[in-house]
Structure 1
Amino acid sequence: MPERPDLTGPLLAWFDAHARDLPWRAADRTGWGVLVSEVMLQQTPVARVLPVWQEWMRRWPRPSDLAAAGPGEAVRAWGRLGYPRRALRLVAAAEVIRDEHGDEVPADAETLRALPGIGEYTAAAVAAFAFGRREVVVDTNVRRVEARAVSGPALPAPSYSAAERRLATELLPADRERSVRWNAATMELGALVCTARAPRCGECPLQDRCAWVAAGSPPHDGPPRRGQRWEGTDRQARGRIVQALRETDGTLTREQALAASGAPEPQAERCLLGLLTDGLVEQDEAGGFTLPQ
């Protein structure tokens, strides 16, 4: 088998020159700030996350601050980031960090995974980016970069596979500091250059050693990747109800909540019930609806 070309050197040099100046990468970053950023960045672009993250860290610089504020304030401050259950997970994690870890975010991935709502990726990312641990950190951007550069397809398989994990582990530099930079650099390259729809191969530091480029940049030949529809979905209707509750100081009646959804009544009823089940909305004794207390 031919020796794999060096990817680490060119990629880290590119990252040193092109990395975005983000506050959760700053020298004074905290474990809590990195954890909040990683949860917010799930399926949400940096430009939308940045102002919300800054406001959260101003209001709640420690896990105990968020835990004291409670889920209602967290959902209200979540704004339009989408998937507001992430706000509830952060509150639950903050409570455990306050009560069981002395208000300090754990540094190792195994302990982080035991926190409510923290999965494998988030635990590895926080351990790496907040505490400099050598961890395999793989998100959608990393999967795409490593698939193209090493394996050759235009896009990775829909689901993360054991083969991809083995490849990511093999590519991770043995040196701890370089491994952290490799993780961040690979994510950055996927976000800024090696994008899914319009990769800018001419700007890529790996262009001359990329298996996909060497193969002629063949188009994706797997199942079509369909964009997520938004208009008319339950996600849109649920988001409208939550937004209406954010914008009121009191409660909404059932009729007001259903109307706020902008959806037909059966769909609106289903969405309101789902919000209640998920803990994003509560019903008081008088029958009104509020954000969780």
Structure 2
Amino acid sequence: MHPFATDLNRWFRENARDLPWRAPGVGAWAILVSEFMLQQTPVSRVIPHLTAWLDRWPTPAALAAASPADAVTQWANLGYPRRALWLHRAAEEITERHDGVVPRDVDQLLALTGIGDYTARAVAVFAYGDRHPVVDTNTRRVLARVVDGCSQPGSPSRRDLEAMAALLPEDHADAALFNAAAMELGATVCTARRPRCDACPVASRCAWREAGYPDTGDSRRRQARYEGSDRQVRGVVLKALRDAAPSAVPVDSLAAQWPDRVQRDRAIDSLVSDGLIELEDDVATLPRGRRSLSEGVQTHLASTP
């Protein structure tokens, strides 16, 4: 095993955070839901939502039997609510195509709604123990510093997977541990703005440290300010609909106090375009989805004890 992986795995075994998706026996569905929720959302906010979600919908079939409106409402304030629609649709696809079992194959996972390369590999590795490189933003930063000697990674590319694959242990369990350890290091020690190099278990192997910590610039795109943004008014509109669900709400009363009427209307139009709300006769509701479950979902539910 590469010395970098040896040192990092040893550190992770002693310092890994106690997170619910890392608990022994956690299944593929729970891991898949957690990966959807963790996209662009801090761990501390995800944990209570994940627990509530899995209590309500412990299987893909259970979520598939619910309406998209239920999914958007349960998503609450996690942000980027299209993820709730994507997760609901993925649950339908898992139930219809895979008899309610989250697939193991990366290509089958990639064929599901809302799942990209990172999530597909994460499920295959952390749920099923398969050997693949898993690369998120934190991993990319660790690789940029330790391997390339850069303060920040460049734009995401296939090279990231190749770099991680070159370090991946041959043993499947060690490989899964190394994937998780690299992400953990980036999230807790090798952070974007204030890295704790004195606490880093691989500081002696870090090319960035060896080079004297050169500042190669921060190429990450800055997120636009939330206050007063279209994102904020979208959130106000969705909250009003969640609070009123399942009742409809007159469009004119949605975010009625928002100071910029044009911006409010633009936000409502974008929510309609994203499938997050439905409009009919000047009233709005959360998405109702298909009027009945597909034959595949019905068959699975009927055969489930």
Q: Same fold (TM over 0.5)?
A: yes
Cross-structure match for 2:145: 148
1:251 CA displacement? 2.2
Compare relative contact order (CA 8 Å, sep 6+) and give the higher one, 1 or 2.
Answer: 2
Q: Call closer, same or farther: CA 1:145–1:263 in 2, change over 3 Å.
A: farther
Given that residues 194 and 201 in structure 1 are in contact (C-alpha distance below 8 angstroms), is that contact kept between their aligned partners in structure 2? yes
Cross-structure match for 1:24: 21
User: What TM-score, normalized by structure 2, do the two folds share?
Assistant: 0.90
User: What TM-score, normalized by structure 1, do the two folds share?
Assistant: 0.94
1:194 CA displacement? 0.6
Q: Which amino acid aligns with 2:20?
A: P
Given that residues 9 and 177 in structure 2 are in contact (C-alpha distance below 8 angstroms), is that contact kept between their aligned partners in structure 1? yes
CA RMSD of aligned residues (A): 1.6
Cross-structure match for 2:234: 238
Trace 1:77-116 onto structure 2 (pairs within 5 A).
Answer: 77-116=74-113
Cross-structure match for 1:173: 169
- Structure 2 gaps of 5+ residues are 289-305
Cross-structure match for 2:200: 204
Which of the numbers 264, 268, 272 marks the counterpart of 2:264?
268
1:11 CA displacement? 0.4
Q: Call closer, same or farther: CA 1:127–1:268 in 2, change over 3 Å.
A: same
Aligned pair 1:193/2:189, yes or no?
yes
1:225 CA displacement? 5.2
Which of the numbers 208, 213, 217 marks the counterpart of 1:217?
213
Q: Call closer, same or farther: CA 1:97–1:227 in 2, change over 3 Å.
A: closer
1:165 CA displacement? 2.8
Aligned residues: 287
1:226 CA displacement? 3.0
- Structure 1 gaps of 5+ residues are none
Q: Which amino acid aligns with 1:214?
A: E
Cross-structure match for 2:134: 137
Given that residues 74 and 87 in structure 1 are in contact (C-alpha distance below 8 angstroms), is that contact kept between their aligned partners in structure 2? yes
1:218 CA displacement? 1.9
Q: Call closer, same or farther: CA 1:12–1:97 in 2, change over 3 Å.
A: same
1:223 CA displacement? 4.7
Given that residues 32 and 62 in structure 1 are in contact (C-alpha distance below 8 angstroms), is that contact kept between their aligned partners in structure 2? yes
Which of the numbers 120, 125, 128 marks the counterpart of 2:117?
120
| Percent of pairs with identical residues | 49
Cross-structure match for 2:225: 229
Aligned pair 1:161/2:157, yes or no?
yes
Given that residues 232 and 263 in structure 1 are in contact (C-alpha distance below 8 angstroms), is that contact kept between their aligned partners in structure 2? no
SS in 2 for 1:247: helix
Cross-structure match for 1:65: 62
Given that residues 150 and 216 in structure 2 are in contact (C-alpha distance below 8 angstroms), is that contact kept between their aligned partners in structure 1? yes
Q: Which amino acid aligns with 2:53?
A: W
Given that residues 148 and 211 in structure 1 are in contact (C-alpha distance below 8 angstroms), is that contact kept between their aligned partners in structure 2? yes
